């Protein structure tokens, strides 16, 4: 029996069920139970996420359940996972990455380029807000909280002309028909580890570690390692407009990253490539490169 701690949102439950199905396909005799719970991040919806403690708020209750033995694993969107985990917990498994891109959702416009001046665009992400303001300073970018269906409802009610969501989340909820444009990373570089599901567990639980390793995807793990090492070196969180995206071609890893001011007026960016075996080192090296370009100054002003 494996008990999976998960948030109660529709997308989180989909991810937990997906992990359960993947585990059972490798271990047909395995029994799996979901342990849904509401997190602080799900409850504090009246303020921007960056103002109430960041994406780590979506993990606290799940991690406490692991530490107290009320669950055996927790399933997360990797883009929500901070660089530092609580003592006694590890995140040894990531599943195959889905679409890492952001998606434009609108009832009127097919592409970002079609948005008229002063169009209202909703997103909860400082990263997306900064890149949109850099690319189209004429747009009115406003904060947007809530689960996927809540955000879509607000769009449908006319509160926004368009909203930006993670393409993977829409795909997983079979809402891909709402996607008008999968935004090229050259316009909006994805969040660190966007599109990746991760599994967290107790570091000393050898039985669970042996079971979950069967669903680990090595290629995705290499990309996530590069992106997360870059972010960790710069103190990345949802309070920081920071983006990084790695692509693996055979054994060569390509990593692009940037740091922006919240209004998009300042940006430092760069790319690097090297052996997949050096994923973490590549991330650290690119972080140092951006620091030398002025990333620390931008981050220091936040």
Give 128-142 as a 3 state SS string.
HHHHHHHHCCCCEEE
**Four-residue CA torsion sign, 174, 175, 179, 182:** negative
Is the Cα torsion angle 18, 23, 24, 29 positive or negative in sign? negative
Domain containing 31: what range?
Answer: 2-95+196-216
- For residues 82 and 128, membership in a common domain is answered with no
pLDDT of residue 239: 65
pLDDT score, position 53: 44
Q: How far is CA 18 from the centre of its chain?
A: 17
Asked whether residue 123 is domain-assigned, the answer is yes
Closest CA to 162 of 185, 137, 141: 141
pTM: 0.91
Per-residue confidence (pLDDT) for residue 44, from 0 to 100: 46
Establish if 246 belongs to a structural domain. yes
What pLDDT, on the 0 to 100 scale, is given for residue 177?
Answer: 97
| CA gap 32, 19 in Å, rounded | 10
The rounded distance, in Å, linking the Cα atoms of 18 and 94 is 13
pLDDT, position 51: 46
Structure tokens at 221: 């793990």
Q: What is the DSSP string of 15-61?
A: HHHHHHHHHHHH-TT--EEEEEE--HHHH--SS-GGGTT-GGGGTHH
- Among positive and negative, which fits the CA dihedral 74, 76, 78, 83? negative
**Same domain for 258 and 145:** no
Ordered mean pLDDT values, 10 residues apiece, the chain (302 residues): 95 97 97 88 47 59 95 96 93 98 97 96 94 95 92 97 97 97 96 97 98 98 97 77 95 96 94 97 97 89 74
Q: How many domains does the chain have?
A: 3
We report the CATH number of the domain holding residue 81 as 3.40.190.10
**210 in a domain, yes or no?**
yes
Per DSSP bridges, beta strands 73-77 and 197-202 are antiparallel
Q: Which of 50, 76, 78, 44 is nearest to 63 (CA)?
A: 76
Same domain for 274 and 235:
yes
Catalytic residues: 80
Measured at the CA of 5, the angle between CA 82 and CA 40, to 5 degrees, comes to 55
d(Cα 299, Cα 270) in Å, to the nearest integer? 16
Residue 24 located in a structural domain: yes
- Determine, yes or no, domain membership for 200: yes
Tell me the C-alpha distance between 33 and 74, whole Å: 12
Instruction: Write down the pLDDT at residue 56.
Output: 52
CB 23 within 8 A of CB 212: yes
d(CA 243, CA 20): 30
């Amino acid at each position: 029996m494996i008990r999976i701690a998960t948030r109660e949102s529709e997308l989180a439950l989909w991810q937990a069920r997906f992990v359960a199905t993947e585990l059972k396909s490798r271990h047909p005799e395995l029994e799996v139970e979901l342990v849904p719970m509401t997190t602080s991040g799900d409850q504090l919806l009246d303020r921007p996420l960056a103002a109430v403690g960041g994406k780590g708020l979506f993990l606290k209750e799940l991690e406490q359940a692991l530490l107290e033995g009320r669950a055996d694993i927790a399933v997360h969107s990797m883009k929500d996972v901070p660089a530092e985990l609580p003592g006694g917990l590890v995140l040894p498994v990531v599943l195959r990455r889905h679409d890492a891109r952001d998606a434009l959702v609108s009832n009127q416009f097919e592409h970002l380029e079609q948005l008229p001046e002063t169009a209202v665009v909703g997103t909860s992400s400082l990263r997306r807000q900064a890149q949109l303001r850099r690319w189209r300073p004429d747009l009115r970018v406003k904060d947007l909280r809530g689960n996927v269906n809540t955000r879509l409802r607000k769009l449908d009610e006319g509160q926004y002309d368009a909203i930006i969501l993670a393409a993977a989340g829409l795909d997983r909820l079979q809402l891909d028909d709402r996607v008008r444009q999968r935004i090229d990373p050259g316009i909006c570089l994805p969040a660190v580890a966007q599109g990746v599901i991760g599994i967290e567990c107790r570091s000393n639980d050898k039985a669970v570690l042996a079971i979950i390793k069967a669903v680990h995807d090595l290629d995705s793990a290499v990309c996530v390692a590069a992106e997360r090492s870059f972010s960790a070196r710069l103190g990345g969180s949802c309070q920081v407009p920071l983006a990084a995206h790695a692509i693996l071609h055979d054994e060569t890893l390509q990593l692009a990253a940037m740091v922006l001011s919240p209004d998009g007026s300042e940006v430092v960016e760069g790319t690097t490539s090297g052996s997949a075996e050096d994923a973490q080192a590549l991330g650290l090296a690119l972080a140092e490169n951006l620091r030398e370009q002025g990333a620390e100054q931008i981050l220091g002003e936040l």
